[in-house]
Structure 1
């Protein structure tokens, strides 16, 4: 197969996706790498050529790669993930609206175009987590304890564009990161960016059935095949606080080979996942059959 990987400058030297690209090459596939942030792109010729079996995007939120992927999709090319699905999670305000409407356990979410508008959020909603709607990798995530702390934070939020704010979910200070690749789910535990003082070694952990069912539903709701989600175990149960297309897949065993196989399967299937709803790996407990069935039909 011939594949085109769009790799932003931020990931130019990262293991993911470079190890996936090397693995595909070792299996005899041709991989062309485009760097949207560092190249002059003749758009009208690039996407019209149609010489690739699929286009794959690894980019930062707000990067130029998504525009190029959407251009490829608009001309009928296969993309991994689906370009429209990526847009639905890259905009965190949009992702919150979609997820809540489809029954996912996301926090109530406010969105503002100007930081000073955050002052209109009721005091009863504090403490708040404030972050850019197009943020990634923990950039500019702030825990605001009370309304009087907000004023001092406003200058730091200037220039971040659209912002979202969500009531803080009390938790242990650790996040569960769930990865979906090739129809399997893998869970890791790591320190929350809101609690950097906690000493938590990132490691694989068993995945509770309730979280596994939510992770499977996330793929259905947003139309993603390769993805990750951040989950907090709050006092009222699991809460999804972020969804990522094409994450790092850290701690996933043989991650490069698993992702490479998934890319090939999706490319052959025209970008439509051939796999059933994601299943937990051997380390994890199984999703109850009735819950998995609901996740499969988007309930």
Structure 2
């Protein structure tokens, strides 16, 4: 097969996707790598029907790669993930609206085009987590303890574009990252970006049935095949705090081969073949996932 990987400079030397590209090449497939952020793109020539079996995006939010992927999709070409699905999660304000409307346990979310507009968030909602709507890799995530603290942080928040604010979910200082690849779910535990602790090392952990059900529903709600979900275990149950398309898949056993096989399978099928609830796998056992998010899931406010 012939595949086109769109890779931003940020991931130029990253194991994901470079290891996947090497694995696909070793299996005899042709992989063309385009760096949207470092190349002059002839948009009329870059996307040609039949030029590739699938286009794969590994870029930062807000980069030009998604535009090129959407151009490929508009020409009827297969994309991994679906271009519209990627847009739906990379805009965190949009992702929150979609997720809450579809019953996912996300916190209530405010969006503000200018940081001073966050003054209108009710005092009862504090402490707040404030971050850019197009942020990634934990960039510019702030815990704002009070309206007075918000005033002091307005200069720091300026220039970040559209911001979202969500009530802070009390937690242990670690979060659960669930990776979905090839119809399987894998869970890791890692330090929360709001509670940095060098002693906390990322590690694989068993995946509970409740968290697995929510992670599977995330894929169905947003239409994603390869994705990651950040979950906090709050006092009232699991809460989804972020969704990423094509994440790092750290701690997933033989991740490069799994992702490579998933890309090939999607390319052969011409796009998403996402089941409503893929089987889950932990490092110790396989779990049966309910078809829907558990009825007790809450918004974490």
TM (normalized to structure 2)?
Answer: 0.95
C-alpha spacing 1:119/1:275, structure 2 compared with 1 (3 Å):
closer
- The CA deviation string for residues 57-113 of structure 1, in whole angstroms up to 9 with x for no partner, is 000000000000000000100000000000000000000000000000000000000
Aligned to 2:133: 133
- C-alpha distance in 1 between matches for 2:181 and 2:63: 23
Q: CA RMSD, aligned part only?
A: 1.3
Aligned to 1:233: 233
Q: CA deviation at 1:200?
A: 1.1
Contact 2:48 2:75 in 1 (8 A): yes
Aligned to 2:267: 267
Question: Partner of 1:193: helix, strand, or coil?
Answer: coil
- C-alpha distance in 2 between matches for 1:144 and 1:274: 38
Q: CA deviation at 1:286?
A: 4.7
C-alpha spacing 1:245/1:274, structure 2 compared with 1 (3 Å):
closer
Q: CA deviation at 1:116?
A: 0.3
Aligned to 2:70: 70
TM (normalized to structure 1)?
Answer: 0.95
Question: Partner of 1:225: helix, strand, or coil?
Answer: coil
Contact 2:216 2:276 in 1 (8 A): no
Task: Please list every run of at least 4 consecutive aligned residues from structure 1 whose deviation after the TM superposition is greater than 3 angstroms.
Answer: 284-289
Q: CA deviation at 1:280?
A: 1.7
Question: Partner of 1:231: helix, strand, or coil?
Answer: strand
Question: Partner of 2:164: helix, strand, or coil?
Answer: strand
Question: Partner of 1:294: helix, strand, or coil?
Answer: coil
Aligned to 2:277: 277
Counterparts in 2 of 1:45-124, with a 5 A limit?
45-124=45-124
- The CA deviation string for residues 100-155 of structure 1, in whole angstroms up to 9 with x for no partner, is 00000000000000000001101000000000000000000000011100011111
- The CA deviation string for residues 206-230 of structure 1, in whole angstroms up to 9 with x for no partner, is 0110000000000000000000000
C-alpha spacing 1:242/1:274, structure 2 compared with 1 (3 Å):
closer
Contact 1:24 1:260 in 2 (8 A): yes
In terms of mean alpha carbon deviation, does 44-53 or 100-109 score higher? 44-53
Contact 1:88 1:95 in 2 (8 A): yes
Aligned to 1:152: 152
- C-alpha distance in 1 between matches for 2:84 and 2:185: 23
Contact 1:266 1:274 in 2 (8 A): no
Contact 2:212 2:280 in 1 (8 A): yes
Q: CA deviation at 1:197?
A: 3.6
Do structure 1's residue 212 and structure 2's residue 212 form an aligned pair?
yes
Aligned to 2:175: 175
Aligned length: 293
Q: CA deviation at 1:279?
A: 1.5
In terms of mean alpha carbon deviation, does 64-73 or 265-274 score higher? 265-274
- C-alpha distance in 2 between matches for 1:75 and 1:264: 20
Contact 1:213 1:287 in 2 (8 A): no
Question: Partner of 2:242: helix, strand, or coil?
Answer: strand
Contact 2:220 2:275 in 1 (8 A): no
Contact 1:69 1:79 in 2 (8 A): yes
- The CA deviation string for residues 186-220 of structure 1, in whole angstroms up to 9 with x for no partner, is 00000000001463110000011000000000000
Contact 2:175 2:191 in 1 (8 A): yes
Aligned to 1:34: 34
Q: CA deviation at 1:283?
A: 2.4
